Amino acid sequence: MGPSKTLKVLVDTNILLYIDHKIDPFWIVIDSLDYKPLFLIHESVFNELKILEKRYCNSISFQSKIRLAKAYLDKYKDMWILVPIKDDIGSTDDILLNIAEKERLILFTNDKELKMRAINKGIGIIFLTRKGKIIKSNFPI
């Protein structure tokens, strides 16, 4: 990756929920690439966290995951940019796919269905292995 190009990585909600497992997704990407990409968080991801917070209001463990995800984003607020909702419609997955395709972004997700939909659309993806230590991708970085 040359110095004139910046790799832009659109982060899915489920990646943020891995923080509960002592996984630091931003730094795993940086360490794996030996390069700091531009991380993007779409506003729909925050909306999805709110929905999950309400849906799992009786689950202490899930509430903890959501709190940790929000705290992580607050702690590393200088490492990511918020992508505001414009004319985006559909589910969070649909919105992320549309933006990634339109803006030629890399999608960072561990959602199996979303990964397959992205691959079918020719969108680059990165994801964590089961151990959460290594980044895998379907494109050369």
What per-residue confidence (pLDDT) applies to 52? 94
Dump pLDDT digits (tens) for 53-112: 999 999 999 999 999 999 999 999 999 999 998 877 889 999 999 999 999 999 999 999
Contacts 24+ apart (CB under 8 A), 97-102: 97/121, 97/123, 99/10, 99/42, 100/10
Q: Could you tell me which CATH class the domain 8-137 is placed in?
A: alpha beta
Domain segments of the chain: what residues? 8-137
pTM of the model: 0.89
8 A C-beta contact, residue 48 and residue 13: yes
